Structure 1
Amino acid sequence: MKLLKLLCFLFVLGFTYGNFCTDDTGYWIGSVAAGVSDFSYGGSRLNTKYYCFEGCLNTGTALQNYKVELSGKNGTKTERARTLTEIIAHVSKSNDNWDPNADSCVDPVLRQDVKSALQKTTQNNCKNVVNTLVLNLNRPGWAITCIQHNEFALDDYVADFNFCSYDAQSGNSVYTIRLAKLDMS
């Protein structure tokens, strides 16, 4: 039954994701998550020309897509499929010498700013996480999303200073936070 559910989800996902807020211009980075129990978005306003987000707690899914203004010329996109167990294992490897988010959030200043802002959150929910990040980071023209899920996610990321995919654990909650400087052209 789980395999059938997964196959149905992947079919719907492929159809939806392929037609979700994208065009032939710019550099698009996307994400889809299943088992979503909380989500929020902020920063720049949603606009189908460069920033889309759709989430539904009834179906437990969230889709997001950004047109990223890359800071460098070599934007190599990395695709990944991850379960919650894999994300927790990855985040728990953090130590003083290695940050598990360094590959998907290459700007060390942004990574530290996100980490510091997350320590200031007063409630463990995505709305509070996004609001705290918006208030503390002060990055006009950036999109910020937060997803809490308990199944799996398919996403892209690019090693660029204008994009960040950051996994964080707070108590029993695991969040995937994505930030992108939007290409609004």
Structure 2
Amino acid sequence: PLDPHSPYSSSKAGADLMVKAYFDTYKMPVNITRCSNNYGPYQFPEKLIPLLINNCLNHKDLPVYGDGLNVRDWLYVEDHCKAIDMVINSGVVGEVYNVGGHNERTNIEIVKTVINYINENVDKEVTESLIKYVEDRKGHDRRYGIDPTKIKNDLGWYPETSFEEGIVKTIKWYLDNKEWMNNITSGDYQNYYSEMYKNKI
């Protein structure tokens, strides 16, 4: 059952229930998909992985919430897109499908993975000394886990990209698209970043 613990997650759960109500009452042809944490190209740098990559390249602190042991399941964005396409074309109308990556990792594992890749392939000065633990978010769940058994059994979907492959593809994309990142991280983003992280370090 849905059991959100923050206004943010409650708003998402409420949206799911509203959509389901339209199917139940009016037979509106809908599906609901619930995914785990996405990562990959073009992700806005407020999100963990592009934030880490950008800060490593600029030798900035790497903010980590709490003790870094919050667990998330990571799903490469192209696999997510394929799952949505499969649900649109083959899913049963009115059904809910969980789309998980089968890649649970603690936040600190993600941070160290990015550091190690950049240290070994780009810049030896990027080390774990950049890690700075910051105050945890209010209502921050310890673990986001998702069971994608249904979409595998009913539709045959399973993520094609391992985390080990996906994280390298992601880092390489940001390395090859620094101009895109520079444009994104200018202006209003700096104000957002300061509010979210700098005052907590």
What's the TM-score bracket when you normalise by the shorter of the two chains?
under 0.3
Q: Based on CA coordinates, which of the two structures has the bigger radius of gyration?
A: 2
TM-score by length of 1: 0.25
Q: Which has the higher strand share?
A: 1
Q: Which has the higher helix share?
A: 2
TM-score by length of 2: 0.24
